[in-house]
């Protein structure tokens, strides 16, 4: 299968400590305490860069991930680097790959956060990206506010104002404002002090660094609610999503792109990257064996606890493991993920244990198991069927999971003309090919 | 002059972009846009490490530094990296030197900030230090709050609570808590969830990384008010200060150390490092010529504007440059620095222009101009006279200002037994030789 085309996939590598699979840390090939091993992260980022991937991506919540430390431990993301300091350390060990990290609009201030991303943009020569989240974690809320998790609508109202203020901070300095020629330091005509006095935030100064080499840091988002999709349609360059089926992917894709014209944006200026966890083997049975070895590393209590947290319910252990999910109330957690799980349980008639194992493995994302050609076929199908502009690759176990994809699948995608041979530019924005939304947008 | 002694100086390098001298950016040897040149910072940090300095230090305010951009520009700290991302980038390019950066208790939250310093501690193997400030800058206040700069007493009340909460976050994980042996991830008995519900802050979770290799990040402070000195006596490992004269230094030193026993601490667990800006020449006249060349780079309006900002007054330009300082009201700015300037003006009978030039040069710190032996004599005197446990070296112009000190003065200090030949350990705390205040202290 080969088609001449100019549109190519954008690919990100989701670097989740020891691997995206919940049992990864128990695997004999696991890197111990991968979350705080900087050489491990540098190795992965350099590997992704050598393969010309668009970006690496780091998720976040400013908290451990489960109230029960034994479950948290098994989710293996109880310990890790704070993402922005991790990006800074990776910036000086890479030269072309985009560096995207998650930061919350609920527990930060726009001036401070915009300034830190601007700094990472300077450190990396224009390769920073901000995954804007509103933070649905209760454990995170407890580390910052006494009143607990704020309702979804309030979080997004704050996020809208946050994004506008942060953008104004980045836009307060034009390219070339700092002259620094021994006599003149700055051209005041190229400075536009922020004057943001909103409901939630104040910012009234200038960014304290030159304008980003890519104009503004790249904006990433993963909103799935109506409010989340509108924020993305207005501000995002890249959107992550979780889609189990082709149809789910197409529906999300069409919906989000259709929202863009009303914000005066072209659909192509936003790249939609569903997550996919590929388990690659040279043969199908080799791939299947790798998958089974990982699935065996999920104790029931861990899988069920993770499922409960994805559903934003306290506990599921009172229901029989062999039975179906009970009826669920809507919560202020991540509504789309709840719905995805509920839908899949009904569609495929799965028990709690089966759902738990399925979602614990790929954490709610698309699971692909097969040969390089089989995996490339599936990715290509979704790419051409307008379910994706590319993918967020979730290696199940690091470094092998990323290495397998790079060594086995990337060459297959290249043969099909679906992925770049060389970087188009030095900044993340150049490689993505997205244009900056107009000033004030 | 040589004395056998075991007590040795602790030395920090204050890395202020292009140099500590306000005219540095205009100098022919200046590095253009030094503030956002990571290779420049890496070079300085590696040079300081090769000389076995204890630490590098980065100051901060989350804002440009002067309302008038033309003055700001000339203060040459209008653009720069955000300090914590800078430290992270330096962490992976150094192996032994301490990495200290400034962060505000007024515009951060304890969980988030403690977590970022913990992350830098993990990135560096236990070499992070936090210079805790309450932020007296109005421009910084305007980037965060609509109500403007908070009064001094309120800022310190918040800082006390912030330090206690941040410490509780670091202490929430014991050494060895994360077992990660394939079966057991964490030993729950070694976790102590924070339960901070205070006036200003909430934090109720666990740090999401292992305990620091140095126990806790090193705490640095520069308080000069009564509230500032009490906070330092209770929590700091290192204190920066500005002392023009030996007597000022001795008075501050005695005062601060005398406060420690009431907080159950030994005076030796806190190192007092006054700032000094050394201009070194192989001969006295060579040193003097270097100084004069820098002083010529200070236009009157820049010097006077900086003096006004140090005095926390809006403007001084209505007073004759040849006349003395007018009477000043006390403000909520940095009171000690105001007093230091007023005292010096009276003591030495200086005009506004003279004061402006003097303070603009070393920014209020001790200015030393001379040969290596002369400079070593002065440092040695203050060290033995209990005015200092070491010094914070403020290179006037980088890289030459640091290089001169390292090549010319350090060997002289070593000959006198005043400075180490090799690092004592790998963590900043080991090299400083300070003990962690007890849990909950
Ligand atoms: C690939 C992917 C990564 C995500 N990473 C994070 C994250 O690191 N932190 C976080 O708080 N939320 C994360 N989310 C959740 C989204 O930010 C978002 O809240 C969620 O998709 C639900 O959409 P909504 O917020 O519009 O309800 C992620 C979602 C996806 C699909
Ligand atoms: C060497 C040195 C460096 C300092 N660096 C900073 C800084 O980076 N940011 C800041 O807001 N204040 C800084 N300060 C100011 C101190 O934090 C402190 O506010 C000041 O010394 C006055 O003391 P007080 O706060 O007790 O009134 C510094 C002071 C000194 C002596």
DSSP symbols for A241-294: E--SSHHHHHHHHHHHHHHSGGGT--GGGSEEEEEEEEEE-SSHHHHHHHHHHH
Task: Please state, in angstroms and rounded to a whole number, the distance separating the CA atoms of residues B83 and B16.
Answer: 11
ipTM score above 0.90:
yes
Q: CB distance A76–B185 less than 8 Å?
A: yes
Query: Among candidates A290, A335, A118, which has minimal Cα distance to B82?
Result: A118
Pairing outcome for strands A55-58 and A98-104:
parallel
As given in the structure block, the two tokens for residue A59 are 């998720």
Closest chain A residue to B69 measured between Cα atoms? A188
Task: Please state, in angstroms and rounded to a whole number, the distance separating the CA atoms of residues A388 and A238.
Answer: 11
Mean pLDDT over the full length of chain A: 92
Summarize the confidence of residues B47-53 as an average pLDDT. 98
Tell me the percentage of chain A whose pLDDT exceeds 70.
95
Q: Which ligand 1 atom is at minimum distance from the Cα of A223? A: 26
- pLDDT at residue A3 above 60? no
Phi–psi pair at B195, nearest 5 degrees: -140, 65
Task: Give the residue whose CA is nearest to atom 9 of ligand 1.
Answer: A60
The per-residue pLDDT for A4 is 43
Task: Please state, in angstroms and rounded to a whole number, the distance separating the CA atoms of residues A44 and A416.
Answer: 25
- Confidence bin at A330 (pLDDT 50/70/90): low
- A367 within ligand 1 shell (Cβ under 6 A): no
- pLDDT at residue B332 above 80? no
The per-residue pLDDT for A332 is 60
How many angstroms separate the alpha carbon of residue A131 from the centre of ligand 1? 9
Task: Please state, in angstroms and rounded to a whole number, the distance separating the CA atoms of residues A119 and A122.
Answer: 5
As given in the structure block, the two tokens for residue A166 are 């942060």
CB atoms within 10 A of CB A398: 27
The per-residue pLDDT for A2 is 41
The per-residue pLDDT for B358 is 85
pTM of the predicted model, to two decimals? 0.94
Compute the nearest-CA separation of A215 from chain B (Å). 16
Task: Please state, in angstroms and rounded to a whole number, the distance separating the CA atoms of residues B388 and B9.
Answer: 8
| pLDDT top residue among A55 and A69 | A55
| pLDDT top residue among B326 and A441 | B326
The per-residue pLDDT for B5 is 47
Task: Please state, in angstroms and rounded to a whole number, the distance separating the CA atoms of residues A19 and A59.
Answer: 12
Task: Please state, in angstroms and rounded to a whole number, the distance separating the CA atoms of residues A148 and B414.
Answer: 56
For residue A124, say whether it is annotated as part of any ligand binding site.
no
- A361 within ligand 1 shell (Cβ under 6 A): no
Task: Please state, in angstroms and rounded to a whole number, the distance separating the CA atoms of residues B346 and B350.
Answer: 7
With 0-12 CB in 10 A as exposed, 13-18 as middle and 19+ as buried, what is B5?
Answer: exposed
Task: Please state, in angstroms and rounded to a whole number, the distance separating the CA atoms of residues B207 and B205.
Answer: 7
Task: Please state, in angstroms and rounded to a whole number, the distance separating the CA atoms of residues B149 and A22.
Answer: 47
CA angle B251, B257, B259 (to 5 degrees): 105
Q: Find the ligand nearest to B233 CA.
A: 2
Contacts of B128 by beta carbon, 8 Å cutoff, 6+ apart: B87, B91, B98, B99, B100, B117, B118, B120, B121, B212, B214, B217, B218, B428
Can you point out the beta strands (E) in A15-58?
55-58
- pLDDT at residue B331 above 70? no
Name which of A76-85, B43-52, B409-418 the model is least confident about.
Answer: A76-85
- pLDDT at residue B113 above 70? yes
For residue A209, say whether it is annotated as part of any ligand binding site.
no
Compute the nearest-CA separation of A158 from chain B (Å). 15
For residue B73, say whether it is annotated as part of any ligand binding site.
no
Q: What is the pLDDT of residues A196-251, one digit of tens each?
A: 999 999 999 999 999 999 999 999 999 999 999 999 999 999 999 999 899 999 99
- pLDDT at residue B1 above 60? no
CB atoms within 10 A of CB A1: 9
C-alpha torsion sign, points A353, A359, A363, A369: positive
| DSSP-assigned letters across all residues of B262-320 | GGT--GGGSEEEEEEEEEE-SSHHHHHHHHHHHHTT--HHHHHHHHHHHTT-S--TTS-
User: What DSSP state is assigned to residue B284?
Assistant: H
Query: Among candidates B300, B286, B302, which has minimal Cα distance to B374?
Result: B286
Phi–psi pair at B99, nearest 5 degrees: -125, 105
C-alpha B272: how far from its chain's center? 11
Summarize the confidence of residues B207-225 as an average pLDDT. 96
SS3 category, A363:
coil
- pLDDT at residue A380 above 70? yes
SS3 category, A41:
helix
Summarize the confidence of residues A83-88 as an average pLDDT. 98
C-alpha B261: how far from its chain's center? 24
SS3 category, B130:
strand
Q: CB distance B115–A72 less than 8 Å?
A: no
Tell me the percentage of chain B whose pLDDT exceeds 90.
77
Task: Please state, in angstroms and rounded to a whole number, the distance separating the CA atoms of residues B170 and A183.
Answer: 47
Q: What is the pLDDT of residues B374-400, one digit of tens each?
A: 999 999 999 999 999 999 999 999 999
Task: Please state, in angstroms and rounded to a whole number, the distance separating the CA atoms of residues B174 and B213.
Answer: 11
- B103 within ligand 2 shell (Cβ under 6 A): no
Phi–psi pair at B352, nearest 5 degrees: -60, -45
Can you point out the beta strands (E) in B112-182?
128-133
With 0-12 CB in 10 A as exposed, 13-18 as middle and 19+ as buried, what is A175?
Answer: exposed
For residue B152, say whether it is annotated as part of any ligand binding site.
yes
Summarize the confidence of residues B75-103 as an average pLDDT. 93
Summarize the confidence of residues A108-126 as an average pLDDT. 98
Query: Among candidates A51, A54, A46, which has minimal Cα distance to A273?
Result: A54
Closest chain A residue to B208 measured between Cα atoms? A79
Query: Among candidates B242, B289, B245, which has minimal Cα distance to B378?
Result: B245
Closest chain A residue to B146 measured between Cα atoms? A202
With 0-12 CB in 10 A as exposed, 13-18 as middle and 19+ as buried, what is B342?
Answer: middle
Summarize the confidence of residues B285-310 as an average pLDDT. 91
Query: Among candidates B270, B238, B213, which has minimal Cα distance to B96?
Result: B213
Query: Among candidates B81, B51, B16, which has minimal Cα distance to B398?
Result: B16
Task: Please state, in angstroms and rounded to a whole number, the distance separating the CA atoms of residues B263 and B266.
Answer: 9
The per-residue pLDDT for A71 is 72
Q: CB distance B209–A35 less than 8 Å?
A: yes
| pLDDT top residue among B185 and A104 | A104
- Confirm if B163 and B221 have CB atoms less than 8 A apart: no
CATH 3.30.360.10 fits B2-432, yes or no: no
The per-residue pLDDT for A439 is 59
Contacts of A76 by beta carbon, 8 Å cutoff, 6+ apart: A17, A18, A22, A24, A25, A35, B185
């Amino acid at each position: 299968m080969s088609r001449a085309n100019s549109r190519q996939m954008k690919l990100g590598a989701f670097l989740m400590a020891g691997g995206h699979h919940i049992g990864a840390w128990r695997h004999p090939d696991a890197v111990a305490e991968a979350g705080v091993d900087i050489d491990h992260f540098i190795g992965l980022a350099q590997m992704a860069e050598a393969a010309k991937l668009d970006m690496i991506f780091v998720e976040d919540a400013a908290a451990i991930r489960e109230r029960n430390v034994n479950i948290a431990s098994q989710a293996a993301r109880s310990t890790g680097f704070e993402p922005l300091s991790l990006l800074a350390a990776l910036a000086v060990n890479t030269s072309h790959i985009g560096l995207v990290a998650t930061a919350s609009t609920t527990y930060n201030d726009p001036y401070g956060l915009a300034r830190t991303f601007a700094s990472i943009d300077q450190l990396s020569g224009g390769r920073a990206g901000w995954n804007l989240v509103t933070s649905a974690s209760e454990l995170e809320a407890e580390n910052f506010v006494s009143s607990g998790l704020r309702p979804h609508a309030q979080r997004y109202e704050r996020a809208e104002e946050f994004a506008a203020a942060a953008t104004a901070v980045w836009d307060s300095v034009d390219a070339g404002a700092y002259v620094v020629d021994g006599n003149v330091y700055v051209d005041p005509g190229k400075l536009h002090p922020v004057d943001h006095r909103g409901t939630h935030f104040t910012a009234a100064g200038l960014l304290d660094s030159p304008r980003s080499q890519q104009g503004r840091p790249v904006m990433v988002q993963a909103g799935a609610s109506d409010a989340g999709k509108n924020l993305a349609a207005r501000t995002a360059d890249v959107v992550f999503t979780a889609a189990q089926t082709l149809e789910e992917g197409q529906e999300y894709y069409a919906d989000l792109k259709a929202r863009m014209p009303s914000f005066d944006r072209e659909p192509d200026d936003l790249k939609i990257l569903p997550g996919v966890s590929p388990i690659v083997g040279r043969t199908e049975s080799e791939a299947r064996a790798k998958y089974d070895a990982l699935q065996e590393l999920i104790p029931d209590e861990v899988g069920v606890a993770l499922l409960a947290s994805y559903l934003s319910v306290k506990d599921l252990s009172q229901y029989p493991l062999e039975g179906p999910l009970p009826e669920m109330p809507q919560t202020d957690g991540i509504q789309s993920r709840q719905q995805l799980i509920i839908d899949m349980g009904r569609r495929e008639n799965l028990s709690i244990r089966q759902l738990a194992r399925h979602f614990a493995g790929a954490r709610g994302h698309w699971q692909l198991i097969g040969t390089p050609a089989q995996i490339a076929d599936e990715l290509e199908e979704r790419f051409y069927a307008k379910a994706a502009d590319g993918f967020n690759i979730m290696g199940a176990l690091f470094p092998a999971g990323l290495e397998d994809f790079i060594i086995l699948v990337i060459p297959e995608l290249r043969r099909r003309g679906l992925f770049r041979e060389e970087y188009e530019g030095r900044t993340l924005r150049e490689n993505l090919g997205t244009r900056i939304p107009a000033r004030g947008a």
